[in-house]
Structure 1
Amino acid sequence: MTAVTVYDPPMCCSTGVCGPEPDPNLARFAADLEWLKTQGVMVQRVNLAQEPARFVAEPAVKALLDETGGDDLPALVMNGRIVARGQYPARAELAKLAGVVTSNDAADYLASEAVRALIGIGAAVAAGCEPCLTFHHNAAKHLGLSAEQMRRAAEIGAEVRAAATKTVMATKDRLLGVPAQSGCCGGAAAARPTTGCC
């Protein structure tokens, strides 16, 4: 599980709603951290005014304090490394730092040329279109996609084609009144050869 620890500068609380002048930026960041938790990220916050020993116990943060005297707080630490300092990142940046895929990221990914090329390969196989398959294969190769990636896309297309064929044949049998096949090679049990099948 991804873990993010926020090392805050000295303050009375982390929500930003206390004091004579509430800080909307802190309130926004607190909400963004709560959202990050819902994405499966472990989040901790440490306040310099309340837990100074934890700042010293984290080598990267201690080095930052020695360097700037705390002027570059807050600091966000992941895997013992400071990934952001001096400001509270917006939700999109937090998601990126924590490796959380947002809906915008997913939309961008699905719209990428590489994904479109792989979808094209699968669709060409499913449709049985040889010129389409050649076109999308060349596009994928030009984009640097591996043979394994293209092979998997083609396999998915073949699975779709096989499933569609099976469904159509079943519908054909039902509509035309073809009896269900039984035994080896579709023949009656008595008509089957005694040595092997077909």
Structure 2
Amino acid sequence: MSSIHRSDQSDSDEVSNGRTLFTPAVKELVALSAALACNCEPCLRYHYREAKKLGISDEDIRAAFDLALAVKQTPARNAQELAERLLGSAGSRPEDE
């Protein structure tokens, strides 16, 4: 498994010394977002269980999911807008923009 799946001593030392905000809970929220963004269902199940073990609320998990979906959907939305411009204006080519 990758290092995101475990919390080693150096991570907890950095947190206790105040040098990072990248706590185990934050790591799981990031991992959940990445799993959703890349459509990895096993990853999503794993990191959801790990997040719940850490006491992360459904509200925080939902916020992570919403952010991941917004990021994931941006390229598709941009491509759709480009397609509409290509079809909508014969005189204006997008590569000229």
TM superposition outliers: structure 1 runs of 4+ over 2 Å: 167-171
Taking the aligned partners of 1:119 and 1:140, their CA distance within structure 2 comes to 10
Deviation at 1:137, TM superposition (A): 0.6
The answer to which structure has the higher strand fraction is 1
Q: What is the letter of the counterpart of residue 124 of structure 1? A: A
- Residue 130 of structure 1, CA deviation: 1.5
TM-score (norm 1): 0.33
Matched, 1:156 2:67: yes
Q: What corresponds to 1:132 in structure 2?
A: 43
Which residues in structure 2 correspond to 1:26-65 (within 5 Å)? none
Distance 2:39 2:76 in 1: 12
Give the drift of 1:150: 0.6
Amino acid at match of 1:125: L
Helix, strand or coil at the partner of 1:109: coil
Cα 1:150/1:169, change in 2 over 3 Å: same
Using the alignment, how far apart are the partners of 2:75 and 2:44 within structure 1? 19
Aligned-pair RMSD on alpha carbons?
Answer: 2.5
2: CA distance between counterparts of 1:127 and 1:180?
A: 31
Q: Of the two structures, which has the highest relative contact order with CA contacts closer than 8 Å and spacing of 6 or more?
A: 2
CA distance in 2, matches of 1:169, 1:124: 24
Long gaps (5+) in structure 2: 1-16, 90-97
Map of 1:180 onto structure 2: 88
Q: Deviations over 1:152-183 (max 9, x none)?
A: 10110011111121123345x38xx84139xx
The CA distance in 2 between the partners of 1:131 and 1:164, in whole Å, is 24
**Identity among equivalent pairs (%):** 30
| TM-score, normalised with respect to structure 2 | 0.62
Structure 2 CA distance, aligned partners of 1:154 and 1:119? 10
Alignment of 1:90-169 (within 5 A): 105=18, 107-110=19-22, 112-169=23-80
Structure 1, unaligned stretches of length 5 or more? 1-103, 182-198
Question: 1:108 is paired with a residue of what secondary structure?
Answer: coil
Q: Which has the larger radius of gyration?
A: 1
